[in-house]
Amino acid sequence: MHDGLWLGVGSDHTDRKAETMGVALSKQICAKVVGKTLWSFDDVAGHWDKLILRAYVTIDGIRLKYQEGPLSGMRNPSDLMSRAGAKFVTGTVMFCGTLGAIGGIRPSTQFTAILEDPVLDRKMTCEYDIDALPVVR
């Protein structure tokens, strides 16, 4: 996609045990999962604050709402890019943060993120299973 900025949904998944040793380590240790759909940022820039992020987790076999709220609770990508002090080239991916976890951050076996655009009546998703590996000492 060489023709401007694009918006997608994904997960900047981390390893919570590794996070106790360092946030950067925990982010580098896990793959970053992204959905298959992209929207032109120009198509949503005028109503960014109306986009809704919802996330669900599965814990002990039960699907629970994990996050929910408008993107007005997050920084706008244009603001983040201006603060980065770096040139963004074609193919650059930037995660823009997330909303607070309902009930706090906790491990799960499945994660689903849904980004809804109520103005243009569409949704995009990112979903994956989590296999927790044993800690070997």
Question: How do residues 94-135 score in pLDDT, each as one tens digit?
Answer: 888 888 999 998 889 999 999 999 999 999 999 999 887 777
Any domain includes 1:
no
Any domain includes 137:
no
Q: Computed from CA positions of residues 98, 101, 105, 109, in that sequence, does the dihedral angle turn out positive or negative?
A: negative
Any domain includes 78:
yes
Q: What is the DSSP string of 32-86?
A: PEE-S--EEHHHHGGGGGG-EEEEEEEETTEEEEEEEEEGGGS--HHHHHHHH-S
Any domain includes 56:
yes
Closest alpha carbon to 32 in 53, 16, 9, 63 = 9
Question: How do residues 5-50 score in pLDDT, each as one tens digit?
Answer: 899 999 887 777 777 788 777 777 877 889 999 999 999 999 999 9
Question: Which domain range does residue 28 map to?
Answer: 6-129
With beta carbons less than 8 A apart as the criterion, state whether 32 and 94 touch. Answer: no
Question: How do residues 46-63 score in pLDDT, each as one tens digit?
Answer: 999 999 999 999 999 999
Give the pLDDT confidence score for residue 97 in this predicted structure. 81
Any domain includes 134:
no
Any domain includes 63:
yes
